[in-house]
Amino acid sequence: MLTNAESILEYDDASRRVRPDRLLRQTHGHYLDYAERMLACYARGVGQTRRELHRGIESICATLEDCPLRRVRAFCKLLDEVSVYDTDRRGGAAKLRRQVFLLAAPLHPLVTQAEGLFATTEADAKRRIAAELGMTWEQIDHRLFADVIEFQRLDRFDGYPDAAAFLARYNVAQTQAALYRAERLSVWSRTDHKSIIRYAKLARLMHDIERQRNGSYLFRFDGPASILRRSTRYGVAMARLVPGLLSCRDWHAVAKLHGPRGRRYALEFSSEDGLRSPVVGASDFDSDLEADFFASWGDAPRDGWKLEREPELLHHGQTVFTPDFALVHQDGRRVLLEIIGYWTPEYLLSKAQVLARFRSSNLIIAIDHNASFTVPADCGEPILFRKRLKPEDVLARL
């Protein structure tokens, strides 16, 4: 992610809203050519130092009249994110410098061309030092300052799919950087509730969930410590949520953050803003078992029962559970269904602990007969199946 030094924000005091820097095709279409040149600079820059590569990017952007220094620094940071540099992993650079300087000291002064009293040239000194150390000078030069970030050399550049993807990553990174100052993030979701919670847990965000009248959910992510101390730590965690959130559908978010002069501003963004996520969206089903059962049931109701996919969230404190399906009868009855396949013992133990918390819900559990799963007390007798769950077995239990 970007740092505060690379973040560009526009504060609107009238509306108390904040807008992160965005590169739009309509107004910044000319940036595509420059982005291609920047990617090419790194692609052919293997062996160059980080400082040389950054100067190359600065040179490319020098003719861009609408490109402030912070934007250039952000480009460099994002290019470095997909690069691998030769670093001083074993701590040998300082030792090598000491050896080189001790061997070079008696040879000084060095000259480019021998003349009179000055008989040792720089090239001669390098050859003698390389021979003494049993290395080529190119090898020495490559390792000599590997512990200094600016002089680390590019080993591999993984890059971005194309120039448009690079600029799209820039837009997402600027939105992430804006959240460093956030003390609260609210997300209204109408579809991918389970995925949003999954990404929130990966970002280690505390959450509060509220079901709305229209069936959507409001997720509140905040941290008391961040509010009291104005620490950026929790804001960084919110920023980590953004790529995953962007891979989800049908949501909008509002962040409350600290701005200049202690004022609070709002940052609004949504799944319709055109921000492209580097994260691949989650599949509709967690397993082939669920997909097969959903297809077998079909769209039409069976005996008055209609099948719904991941319809709601059950939550208790920081524990969240999304049943695989809900079965809704035309007379208003509603039953939840959770399908448990053949998983690792650790996963099954965790699942049992979660189900124990929500055993008061109207829940049917279907279990693969090979799974070593102990149904928590008061959860009812499970449906046992072999290889696939049949709609007829679920209807019989209903």
| DSSP letters for 330-387 | TTS-EEEEEEE-S--HHHHHHHHHHHHHTTTS-EEEEEETTS--PPPTTS-PPEEEBS
Pair (246, 195) in one structural domain: yes
Q: Is the pLDDT of residue 11 over 70?
A: yes
Residue 220 structure tokens: 């509140």
Residue 280 lies in a domain: no
Cβ atoms of 235 and 226 closer than 8 Å: yes
Which pLDDT belongs to residue 232? Answer: 65
Global pTM reads: 0.75
The number of folded domains in the chain is 3
**Predicted confidence band of residue 228 (pLDDT cuts 50, 70, 90):** very low
Cβ atoms of 240 and 231 closer than 8 Å: no
Q: What is the pLDDT of residues 359-397, one digit of tens each?
A: 667 888 888 877 666 666 666 778 888 888 999 999 998
Pair (78, 183) in one structural domain: yes
Pair (170, 118) in one structural domain: no
Q: How far apart are CA 273 and CA 271, in angstroms?
A: 6
Beta partners for 334? 328
Q: What is the pLDDT of residues 115-150, one digit of tens each?
A: 877 888 999 999 999 999 999 999 999 889 989 999
Instruction: Identify which of 184-198, 274-288, 334-348 has the greatest average pLDDT.
Output: 184-198
Query: Which residue, chain included where needed, has tokens 């970007």?
Result: 2
Q: Which domain holds residue 383?
A: 288-397
Q: Which residue has the higher pLDDT, 93 or 363?
A: 93
Residue that finishes a domain, picked among 204, 239, 270: 270
**Predicted confidence band of residue 313 (pLDDT cuts 50, 70, 90):** confident
